[in-house]
Structure 1
Amino acid sequence: MAITADYSATHSVQPPAATTEDYTHYRIVKARYPARFFGTLFAALIIAVTLQSILTNPKWGWNVFAEWFFSAPVLAGLARTLLLTLLATILGFALGTALALARVSKSPLLSGLSWAYIWLLRSIPLIVLLLILNNLGYLYATVRIGVPYTDILFAEYPTISILSPFAAALIGLSLNQAAFSSEIIRGGILSVDQGQLEAAAALGLSRRRQAFRIVLPQAMRTILPTGFNEIIGLAKGTSIVYVLALPELFYTVQVIYRRNLEVIPLLMVATVWYLIILTVLSVAQHYIERHFSKGALRNPPAPIFRKLFRRLFGAPILARPQSVPVSSLQNAAAVKTSDRSIPLASWRAPGSVKIQGVSKSFGQLKVLDDIRLDIKAGSVTAILGPSGSGKSTLLRTINHLERVDDGFITVDNELVGYRKSGRTLYELKEKDILKRRADIGMVFQSFNLFPHLTVLENIIEAPVSLGQLTRPEAISLARELLARVGLGDKINAYPRQLSGGQQQRVAIARALALRPKVLLFDEPTSALDPELVGEVLDVIKELARSGTTLIIVTHEIGFAREVADTVIFMDGGRVIETGAPEQILNRPRNARTSEFLAKVL
């Protein structure tokens, strides 16, 4: 029996429409907040009393303040303070960055030397360090430039002529700043998710590129607040160099008030200049933090001055539009996703993968046990199995993100992670492994997109930095890849502004941009909406035809049945069964395979 309804007759039983009351002429009384009102009144009273006391008390000596505020000696002292702050900040944070990278280095000697420097410099009071440097000529009368431990000498200078009070102050402030800033930078580096490092390594980016393009820009969000506190402290801390008789701002003010005995007005001169320095640094901090927070928020706040103008004049200031490479992207949104026109001639030949007796353990847990597989070039291989069976670990060993304990893996008969010389294998250095990873693309289950880069920048980063494509060529390829996965209009969005499924499709486009011989997928459809799965399946099927070997870890049996040429079933770190999809999924030979399929089908 079917349940039907005749909606054509419903008008006859509708109740009469209620009369709508006009509220446009009503008076509106806003909600009252007595606590907020009295709090505001109390704050205004405090401000008024403070200002009245400061402005009306003649002992503050505002006429003397005005006389000396822009005087030549004060401005000269201010210039030295600013110069010391600027140079010590640059040198201190440059050395601090090097120390932080040394601290996280795998070299125990380098890491230990960095730790010892930080321990020593943080232990010595700054005033003691400055006095030691100022008297360094007592310990070392001359500075010699030559070849150590020989009689070869290029130049020789008296230490006292080189190490002026300004130089001693600059070196002391920089060395002290480096010790503290290095720990701030190291904390920022450690705050970056490990997946970001893996994604950068999987793309073949050099260690230097990983550090300065991927890790440090993200670490800056953690570094900046504490780092600017250090810079502000440094600006005020320059006053301690008075012990060297260096006429910076505070020392200059001291000299003047000792002559005219106007202590408070001259101290206010120094105070107001320090307030101005602090304000400028605070504004700079706001904009620098905003720059490095790109991609952190879906809707980033407007710049502080835009908010100010909006409140003062009641009109929004137009935001500067996002930069769009118009010459190469103007038709990106117009490209139909059905037009799958990636230039196939530019793709590399597919690569075969051979896995020979690979084993891997994490502590006492053996996650891979004597894996042996032969994956043909241009084939699509789906790896099935329960969670914890070693599927993802096996995938990560293929591109050497996980180093195997035993066995070897080759891609197109080239060893992954080793160089063969005669009958000897030499383990490759990290920089050489990174170069070979360009042949093996990977799409991570958790996407691992770089959140501080736009969609376009995520895709072009690796091909440009590895020298595979020029920037215009990479942008053109990125446009076609994004059009293929249905995201041509998201080219300037940040990952956080995309849904999970959209992020996954960007991750696929990013991996394809390297035009790899082998492409690894870890659960490629796990984050996709059901209606988008078919589109990604079409992309993967065409990739199989166009020259890329695909190895896919998945839990979706239907996905494996439709896409794969070969299905592998794993359990307990072993390959239990392998064969064609028809045979494995419909007539499995192994009882464990049958048991698993009975639960998931």
Structure 2
Amino acid sequence: MSLSAPFADRFGGSAATGEPAGRPRLRIVPARHPWRTVGTVAALLVVVACIQSTLTNPRWGWDVFAQWFFAEPILVGLGRTLLLTALGTALGFACGTLLALARVSGPPVVSAVAFAYVWLFRSIPLIVLLLILNNLGYLYETVRLGVPYTDITFASWSTTQLVTPFAAAIIGLTLNQAAYSAEIIRGGILSVDQGQTEAASALGLPRTHQARRIVLPQAMRSILPAAFNEIIGLAKGTSQVYIIALPELFYTVQVIYRRNLEVIPLLMVATVWYLVILTVLSLVQRSVERHYARGALRNPPPSVFSKLFGARAANERSLAPLRVDPSSAGAAVEIRNVSKRFGELAVLKDVSLSLPPGSVTAILGPSGSGKSTLLRTINHLERVDAGLVAVDGELIGYRRDGDTLYELQERDILKRRADVGMVFQSFNLFPHMTALENVAEAPVATGRSSRAEAQAFGRELLARVGLSDKAGSYPRQLSGGQQQRVAIARALALRPKVLLFDEPTSALDPELVGEVLDVIRELARTGTTLVVVTHEIGFARQVADRVVFMEAGEVLESGSPAEVLGVPKHPRTGAFLAKVL
């Protein structure tokens, strides 16, 4: 584009090229904000005036402050405050974690007990709780260890000797902190998308591993700000133990100023020490939050450590991945008379299919026809109401005894489920892990590979899907197509016999669909049994050995692509294809 002559003359440019014609370039002057300057100056004046007034007023007693700031009684009280804070935090959040897990995953009675605990101890003021515990000997003279409701006693102690003021303070702070931290942790757990736990279950990760490595690291992003608020509140709340005459920092300060009547200087001693404690906690909070923010930003600012170790990371990224074909023999899938209801809605109605090993099956149908539910029954992410699903002749979620199916324990289901990989519609990558960590996590957690072997194989798989240069990238730094390819590599890491795809391209832009379908086409040549829920008719025609059409929870038609897509027998199949082709 070029400027017209009048405009070029007016703005100092050439009409032909738009470049300056012997004149200096126009200088850009940023907009001025005089009121911001006024506000900044006023704020600085207020700060300076406060500091000057505080430092020059002799009634603040800075000489007395200096005398007592590092005095031995003050430091002893400070140490006890730090000890109470540390023990209250550790024990309170440990108990709070158990309470939170009981509320979100426990049986109804366990969940109700946890709720009752939270309700009770959030209702009782801390100072009242401390007084009750300190006078527990009035209610119960002895504490005994024995068989309940009998006279059998193994040991007994005097309550007054057992529950000292220090013990009462620790117990009270722990009970109080556990109630509040339980709700903070529960909120963090509920903030983690359900797809994350489904992906972890589909990979066969044990429940404890799911909680420790998948759920809690992501929940920490929500937990940390509120948790550190509670810790800071606890550090200041330790001052309430003065009510039971425990000489922590504030109680020590009170004792001293009652003797020398220097109230303000001694209160400033306590105030400054609390400022120091809370400043350190704030710095720790920032560091911990940064640790758990991995993968949260697409382009996070570099940290000091990333600058120091940047050269080493670059060398690691330059390693050429091995390219070994990890294909494995597929397994036969038998679906027999499977039915599933959600309340009054019948999602699957007596569905039966036999998928031979190494086959590629495309499942088509309108939305709500039960395609994804059928797929999820194969790896037992959805429990069936009737019928059975077998992979290589073995049931995944049940043990058969005659005509009765007994559901297995979760750990047994997870072991069997690892043979059936799954790629989700919305990827469900673990956002706090890099692409390589996503791929290598399941083989290590299930004990199928050492960490070194899993990482080496993970690099091979990422190379196979064309992402060898993205091993150190977090999901948020990848495009949709790249994320889906990482999800495919993750599913392949366990060398599954069957691989399930739940509409693998529906969440992608049209330009990214091709790259994912190319990867699935390559997988179709490896001998792994593939079951793909898809709307890509062209892909089903080219790659699938068998096409299944479903509607309203039933299989209306099944056969080769030429039969189902070329000459459909059921009128509903023909009507559907007429709309999508």
Q: TM-score, normalised by structure 2?
A: 0.93
Change (3 A) 1:343 1:67: same
Segments of 5+ residues of structure 1 without an aligned counterpart are: 1-13, 307-315
For 1:343, the equivalent position in structure 2 comes to 326
For 2:446, the equivalent position in structure 1 comes to 466
In structure 2, the residue corresponding to 1:409 is in which secondary structure?
strand
2:141 maps to a residue whose letter is A
Structure 1 residue 267 and structure 2 residue 262: aligned? no
For 1:568, the equivalent position in structure 2 comes to 548
Change (3 A) 1:17 1:437: closer
In 2: Cα distance, 1:34 partner to 1:139 partner: 69
Q: Deviations over 1:354-413 (max 9, x none)?
A: 111111222222221111111111111011111121111111111111112221111111
Could you tell which deviates more after superposition, 373-382 or 153-162?
Answer: 153-162
2:320 to 331, 338, 346: 331
For 1:401, the equivalent position in structure 2 comes to 381
Change (3 A) 1:17 1:592: closer
Change (3 A) 1:44 1:111: same
Structure 1 residue 101 and structure 2 residue 101: aligned? yes
Change (3 A) 1:22 1:98: farther
Structure 1 residue 175 and structure 2 residue 175: aligned? yes
For 1:514, the equivalent position in structure 2 comes to 494
Q: Is the 8 A contact 1:485 1:535 kept in 2?
A: no
Q: Is the 8 A contact 1:328 1:476 kept in 2?
A: no
**Superposition deviation, residue 213 in structure 1:** 0.9
Q: Is the 8 A contact 2:144 2:155 kept in 1?
A: yes
1:429 maps to a residue whose letter is Q
For 1:9, the equivalent position in structure 2 comes to none
Residues 496-535 of structure 1: pairs in structure 2 closer than 5 A: 496-527=476-507
In 1: Cα distance, 2:171 partner to 2:563 partner: 74
1:486 maps to a residue whose letter is G
1:438 to 407, 418, 422: 418
In 2: Cα distance, 1:358 partner to 1:91 partner: 48
Could you tell which deviates more after superposition, 164-173 or 356-365?
Answer: 356-365
For 1:115, the equivalent position in structure 2 comes to 115
Q: Is the 8 A contact 2:360 2:531 kept in 1?
A: yes
Q: Is the 8 A contact 1:129 1:172 kept in 2?
A: yes
For 2:53, the equivalent position in structure 1 comes to 53
In 1: Cα distance, 2:19 partner to 2:49 partner: 59
Change (3 A) 1:588 1:271: same
Q: Is the 8 A contact 2:481 2:516 kept in 1?
A: no
In 2: Cα distance, 1:251 partner to 1:106 partner: 42
Change (3 A) 1:323 1:575: farther
Question: CA RMSD, aligned part only?
Answer: 2.3
2:373 maps to a residue whose letter is T
2:362 to 382, 390, 401: 382
Change (3 A) 1:302 1:325: closer
2:550 maps to a residue whose letter is M
Q: Is the 8 A contact 1:202 1:442 kept in 2?
A: yes
In structure 2, the residue corresponding to 1:546 is in which secondary structure?
coil
Q: Deviations over 1:532-578 (max 9, x none)?
A: 65554454344344331100011011101111110111112111111
In 2: Cα distance, 1:479 partner to 1:146 partner: 58
1:372 to 352, 360, 365: 352
For 1:3, the equivalent position in structure 2 comes to none
1:477 to 457, 473, 477: 457
Could you tell which deviates more after superposition, 229-238 or 117-126?
Answer: 117-126
1:165 maps to a residue whose letter is P
User: Identity percentage over the alignment?
Assistant: 68
**Superposition deviation, residue 592 in structure 1:** 1.1
2:133 maps to a residue whose letter is L
In structure 1, the residue corresponding to 2:494 is in which secondary structure?
coil
**Superposition deviation, residue 17 in structure 1:** 7.7
**Superposition deviation, residue 324 in structure 1:** 5.0
Structure 1 residue 414 and structure 2 residue 394: aligned? yes
Q: Is the 8 A contact 2:317 2:472 kept in 1?
A: no
**Superposition deviation, residue 15 in structure 1:** 4.4
For 2:531, the equivalent position in structure 1 comes to 551
In 1: Cα distance, 2:228 partner to 2:408 partner: 41
1:427 to 382, 407, 413: 407
In 2: Cα distance, 1:166 partner to 1:290 partner: 35
**Superposition deviation, residue 530 in structure 1:** 6.0
For 2:133, the equivalent position in structure 1 comes to 133
Q: TM-score, normalised by structure 1?
A: 0.90
In 1: Cα distance, 2:145 partner to 2:540 partner: 69
1:368 maps to a residue whose letter is L
Q: Deviations over 1:251-302 (max 9, x none)?
A: 0000100110000000000000001111111111111111111111112245
**Superposition deviation, residue 147 in structure 1:** 4.2
For 1:313, the equivalent position in structure 2 comes to none
Change (3 A) 1:560 1:54: same
Change (3 A) 1:495 1:16: closer
Q: Is the 8 A contact 1:408 1:416 kept in 2?
A: no
Structure 1 residue 491 and structure 2 residue 474: aligned? no
In 1: Cα distance, 2:17 partner to 2:273 partner: 74
Q: Is the 8 A contact 1:322 1:492 kept in 2?
A: no
1:330 maps to a residue whose letter is L
**Superposition deviation, residue 431 in structure 1:** 2.2
Segments of 5+ residues of structure 2 without an aligned counterpart are: 1-14
